[in-house]
Amino acid sequence: MASPRRIGAPDAKNRAVLLDAAEQLMLDEGYAAVTSRRVAAKAGLKPQLVHYYFRTMDDLFLAMLARQSEAGLDRQAKALASDRPLRALWELVTDPGGNVMTMEFVALANHRKTIRAEIARVAEQFRAGQIDAITQVGERYGLPPDVLVVLMTGISQVIVHERALGVSTGHEPTLALVEEHLRRLEGPAEPTEPTEPAVAAVAAVAEPGAGS
Amino acid sequence: MASPRRIGAPDAKNRAVLLDAAEQLMLDEGYAAVTSRRVAAKAGLKPQLVHYYFRTMDDLFLAMLARQSEAGLDRQAKALASDRPLRALWELVTDPGGNVMTMEFVALANHRKTIRAEIARVAEQFRAGQIDAITQVGERYGLPPDVLVVLMTGISQVIVHERALGVSTGHEPTLALVEEHLRRLEGPAEPTEPTEPAVAAVAAVAEPGAGS
DNA sequence: GTCTATACTTCGATAGAC
DNA sequence: GTCTATCGAAGTATAGAC
């Protein structure tokens, strides 16, 4: 597995530049656009540098995943610390920006065995954090927290996903149903501290998706 | 748009052979494996023949989609004609085989603009058929049929999808919840005519996926 | 109507120069 | 420690032979 070839320092400036470029490409054009040549072009560097800092393309993808998931888990932890964790979770999972990246990684996992295990591990981390935060409130709903989380994930995903595709039948009443339940559980949308993305996220589902 | 180049007859034998090969590749290794060279190799033909029968790769994908969706809509119509359409739908959407193909096409749509519109059109057709069949039973559930269909689609998709990835937290109790609701609505799993895949499909969600 | 010879592009990756 | 010259394989597609 180990290669004799040398590899760039983890904190080198160009390494980060390449990661940024790769991330942007993945967001804009999907994982298939993340090739050594295109990443380098976007970064204003030579293609061979990609292989210097990341020996293989899989290594690059893993590095992207690591950076993204770390940031994502942070954001999630902060959001779920709210006194309305259920609504916070809903806003999180209906955010089109964050989901584009996730979708790409999941699609990528279909074709890269190396990535699959790591994606699964990260996904379980996200889920564990969510269940943890919802645990208290879940009782009030009459559903176990893990079920609640799976339901919200499934419902939001199908809507966000189909929306991106151009399918919309049944979305509106379903969103209304979720909103009704959220309201019953945690009251209307206004949080204690004006965490402004509140309405934006839900509304965004009904709008053409934007980047993160 | 129109090319002066000639194209193979729609009913030529090798055209079907290529379609079969492409389908198998997509199922086994994902859409990224569907390249002119690999399809031809699997079919035992020369790569150039792919471009003879399908001018571009997009054309090949569209032909696959047409064949698949026609068969899928047929299967769905037959299944939903059951006297327990809700359970029939659930079995349909939790079938891992059928979903692998769907997932691949959806992922493909992310990267091929040409395909996207067609996928969306097909997806709406499936949904319309489902809503139509559920309409009668939906009333008894207290939820509009379109909401019911979106919910079932979302829940099943997240489970099938995560299962393929290796994520499983919360799946079992969620499946149990759905089963409980189905039972309440339409009674236990046994259908009038022994449509045997009944249990198999739900069980399959908890097992490593098999082909269609 | 069916298939082949061939061109051109882009890909991932390595060895070796600075 | 950083970057470049270069390779071999694979991808899509076309023009033209049978």
pLDDT at residue A60 in the model: 98
Question: Which range scores top for mean pLDDT: A91-100, A128-137, A171-180, B180-189?
Answer: A171-180
pLDDT at residue B141 in the model: 77
In angstroms, the CA A64 to CA A114 distance is 14
pLDDT at residue B212 in the model: 36
In angstroms, the Cα distances linking A177 to A94, A131, A140, B55 are 14, 21, 18, 46
In angstroms, the CA B131 to CA B153 distance is 12
**What percent of chain A clears pLDDT 70, i.e. is strictly above it?**
87
Whether A18 contacts A43, CB under 8 Å: yes
In angstroms, the CA B65 to CA B104 distance is 11
pLDDT at residue B198 in the model: 46
Mutation target among A25, A146, A150 for the B interface, most CBs of B within 10 A: A150
Mutation target among A29, A112, A162, A181 for the B interface, most CBs of B within 10 A: A162
Mean pLDDT of chain A: 88
Measuring CA to CA, which residue among A211, A34, A209, A18 is closest to residue A105?
A34
B105 has a pLDDT exceeding 70:
yes
pLDDT at residue A3 in the model: 58
B142 touches chain A (CB under 8 A): no
DSSP string, A176-208: HHHHHHHHHHH-SS--SS--THHHHHHHHHTS-
Over residues A183-202, the mean pLDDT reads 64
Q: At what angle do helices A145-165 and A171-186 cross, to 10 degrees?
A: 150
Query: If pLDDT is split at 50, 70 and 90, which confidence band does A199 have?
Result: very low
B43 has a pLDDT exceeding 60:
yes
User: For residue A75, which amino acid is it?
Assistant: R
Measuring CA to CA, which residue among A155, A29, A187 is closest to residue B112?
A29
B206 has a pLDDT exceeding 50:
no
Distance A166 CA to C9 C1' (A): 32
B177 has a pLDDT exceeding 60:
yes
Tell me which DSSP letter residue B17 carries: H
Over residues B88-97, the mean pLDDT reads 92
Over residues B83-87, the mean pLDDT reads 91
In angstroms, the CA A64 to CA A27 distance is 12
A192 has a pLDDT exceeding 70:
no
B194 has a pLDDT exceeding 60:
no
Provide the greatest CA pair distance for chain B: 61
Q: Classify residue A91 as exposed, middle or buried by CB count within 10 Å of its CB (0-12, 13-18, 19+).
A: buried
pLDDT at residue A53 in the model: 98
Distance from CA of A8 to the nearest CA of B (A): 30
Over residues B158-173, the mean pLDDT reads 96
Measuring CA to CA, which residue among B189, B194, B212 is closest to residue B90?
B189
pLDDT at residue B50 in the model: 98
Of A123, A158, A165, the CB nearest to B119: A165
Distance B61 CA to D12 C1' (A): 14
Place of tokens 């035992």: B44
Query: What is the CA angle B149-A154-A192, rounded to 5?
Result: 115
Query: If pLDDT is split at 50, 70 and 90, which confidence band does A45 have?
Result: very high
Tell me which DSSP letter residue B81 carries: T
Distance from CA of A166 to the nearest CA of B (A): 6
pLDDT at residue B100 in the model: 86
A117 has a pLDDT exceeding 70:
yes
Over residues B7-20, the mean pLDDT reads 97
User: For residue range B107-149, what is the model confidence (pLDDT) as tens digits?
Assistant: 899 888 899 999 999 999 999 999 999 997 766 778 999 999 9
Higher pLDDT, B210 or A132: A132
Return the number of other C-beta atoms located less than 10 Å from residue A77's C-beta: 12
User: For residue range A14-44, what is the model confidence (pLDDT) as tens digits?
Assistant: 999 999 999 999 999 999 999 999 999 999 9
Over residues A146-168, the mean pLDDT reads 96
Q: Which nucleotides of D are covered by protein (CB under 7 A)?
A: 1-6, 10-16
**What percent of chain B clears pLDDT 90, i.e. is strictly above it?**
71
Locate A128 and state its tokens: 């564990």
pLDDT at residue A191 in the model: 54
Cβ A127–B177 below 8 Å, yes or no?
Answer: no
Cβ B151–A165 below 8 Å, yes or no?
Answer: no
